[in-house]
Amino acid sequence: MVVYTMSQERQEEFLGALEHWQQTEESRFFWRQRHDSDGNSVITTTSTTTTDTSTATITTTTTSSSSMSESAFEELKKFFTVNLKCPDEDSRYMIEGIDLSYSFNCFQQHVLDVLPTGKLAFETHIHHILSMSSIMLIFKGDNASSEAYNLIPEAKKTIYAGISSSAQFSRQLLIQALDIIQGVAIDGSINRKVGSHRLLELSFTESSDLGQRILLYLHRAVQTLTKDNSLNPINDEADLCGRFILPLLQTLSDELDSTENVFFKLNNSKNHECGVAPMLNLSERRPDGVIKWLSQSGQKTIGFMETKTISISHQTSKINIDLIRLGLMGKNAIDVYNLKSILLIQAVGMNLTFYLFQKKTVDVYMMVELDNLAFPQSLVDLPSLTGNMDRVVRLLDIFKRECFIVQPTQNEIRPTVRLPLMNRVVMSSTSRKCKNCSPHSYC
């Protein structure tokens, strides 16, 4: 095509630009992905042009190029050797007779082994990047985590059995609440103010604190949500957080009448639990929201939230960067406050994914997905939430049971990988050709 359709001047310009691109990180990443999908060891692209003096031939291979400098790899190797050792047998994390500490350490060593062949990508390597900070990520309904850590189904069931909840929302109140919501949102037989007042009255008849919180959220939603999504589109993160997520999480988590207050707030200050911040979006050390616990021993952060609007849900790297940031902030908070658990919330639009973050042993910090729920953006969405009342109650029950326990100070703490080192092993560019390793598609 080059020979027959381009002038000589245009050909030279094209080939020069192509040769320059072949030397970039983007080019190497492209050919690695092409190699993985085609199963070829060498990919060759040849462009030939006939000129008065020469024939230009450009060949690219993916087997010999390395994206990491030797000094960067030696620094990483030293970090792994010093900080990511498998502990003594009596200190390991064991489940169902499986030595998860050993399996996890093998995975970490695998990360070190593959890095000389190319950098990690946010789209594809969430588990790899988090493992550098001793974080084991477990997705609920996906086999990627199990395969990565050699986690048998029985062991995964045991992990979830240890944090599960059997709490239920009252069936009688569910029917009454659904009748009110349908009257307001669907057929218009109930005035918005009347419906809101009835839901408030209904909350007084509920003896369970968790059930009351859900009814109070429904009361607030009927008051504030627009009739349908077109009347109040979510334009940016500030709009998403301020109008939709703040009322939701405040109602579900706040406890302001006890001696130890708990409250959710949007955050505009740097998170002091995390380290210094050079490049990459990971360095913006400001969680979009936090859950604070004013305990008798001082203020503690027991929850973090990261948000993105649904309009950028197709940008996998940005979604996964938020998930990695949540993991790093959760680990640092547990290390600083000696907490048993932290609640992590990733919001993409009104799709919220909840994770429980715990330190199991000195070498394993476990980030376990609890659930993924879509919360209403308008009144027409509200009836669908009533089908998930039990799931919301169980999330609240796990949060209340697990996230208010302070453990004895531990002598040994595994370090969180510092961003200067991470910048050297993770690609700064992104590619939509990468396969997303997260099971959640928010598009």
Q: pLDDT at position 169, please?
A: 96
> Is 339 in a helix, a strand, or coil?
strand
- Reported as half-sphere exposure (CB side, CA atoms, 13 A), residue 337 has a value of 30
In the predicted structure, residue 407 carries a pLDDT above the cut 50: yes
In the predicted structure, residue 42 carries a pLDDT above the cut 50: no
In terms of DSSP bridges, do strands 135-138 and 98-99 run parallel, antiparallel, or are they unpaired?
A: unpaired
Q: pLDDT at position 114, please?
A: 84
pLDDT interval class at 126 (50, 70, 90): very high
Q: Higher pLDDT residue, 168 or 74? A: 168
Q: What is the pLDDT of residues 384-404, one digit of tens each?
A: 999 999 999 999 999 999 999
φ, ψ for residue 138, nearest 5 deg: -120, 115
In terms of DSSP bridges, do strands 351-361 and 364-374 run parallel, antiparallel, or are they unpaired?
A: antiparallel
In the predicted structure, residue 355 carries a pLDDT above the cut 70: yes
As beta bridge partners, residue 339 has: 406
Provide the b/e sequence for 305-333 (b: ≥16 CB within 10 Å): bbbbbbeebeebbbbbbbbbbbbbbbbbb
Cα end-to-end distance, the chain, whole Å: 37
Can you give the pTM of this predicted structure?
0.81
Range with lowest mean pLDDT among 8-17, 219-228, 244-253, 317-326: 8-17
- Residues in contact with 175: Cβ distance below 8 Å, sequence separation at least 6, in sequence order: none
**Matching residue, tokens 């359709």:** 5
Secondary structure letter of residue 183 according to DSSP: H
Q: What is the pLDDT of residues 273-302, one digit of tens each?
A: 444 333 344 545 679 999 999 988 889 999
- Reported as half-sphere exposure (CB side, CA atoms, 13 A), residue 395 has a value of 23
Q: Which of 117-131, 221-235, 240-254 has the highest mean pLDDT?
A: 240-254
Q: pLDDT at position 31, please?
A: 56
Q: Among candidates 407, 418, 325, which has minimal Cα distance to 362? A: 407
In terms of DSSP bridges, do strands 341-348 and 289-295 run parallel, antiparallel, or are they unpaired?
A: unpaired
> Is 367 in a helix, a strand, or coil?
strand
Over residues 50-71, mean pLDDT: 41
In terms of DSSP bridges, do strands 351-361 and 341-348 run parallel, antiparallel, or are they unpaired?
A: antiparallel
pLDDT interval class at 424 (50, 70, 90): confident
Q: What is the pLDDT of residues 153-164, one digit of tens each?
A: 888 999 999 999
pLDDT interval class at 443 (50, 70, 90): low
Phi-psi region of 139 (alpha: psi -120 to 50; beta: other; left: phi over 0): beta
Q: Among candidates 159, 157, 104, 110, which has minimal Cα distance to 134? A: 104
Secondary structure letter of residue 426 according to DSSP: B
Question: Do residues 344 and 326 touch, judged by C-beta distance below 8 A?
Answer: yes
Q: What is the pLDDT of residues 254-276, one digit of tens each?
A: 998 877 799 999 986 655 444 43
The average confidence (pLDDT) of the chain is 81
- How far apart, in whole angstroms, are the C-alpha atoms of residue 160 and residue 176? 32
Over residues 55-68, mean pLDDT: 36
pLDDT interval class at 170 (50, 70, 90): very high
**Length of the chain, in residues:** 443
- Residues in contact with 401: Cβ distance below 8 Å, sequence separation at least 6, in sequence order: 165
**Matching residue, tokens 């740097």:** 270
Over residues 343-368, mean pLDDT: 96
- How far apart, in whole angstroms, are the C-alpha atoms of residue 317 and residue 320? 5
In the predicted structure, residue 56 carries a pLDDT above the cut 50: no
Element (H or E) spanning 25, and its range?
Answer: helix 25-38
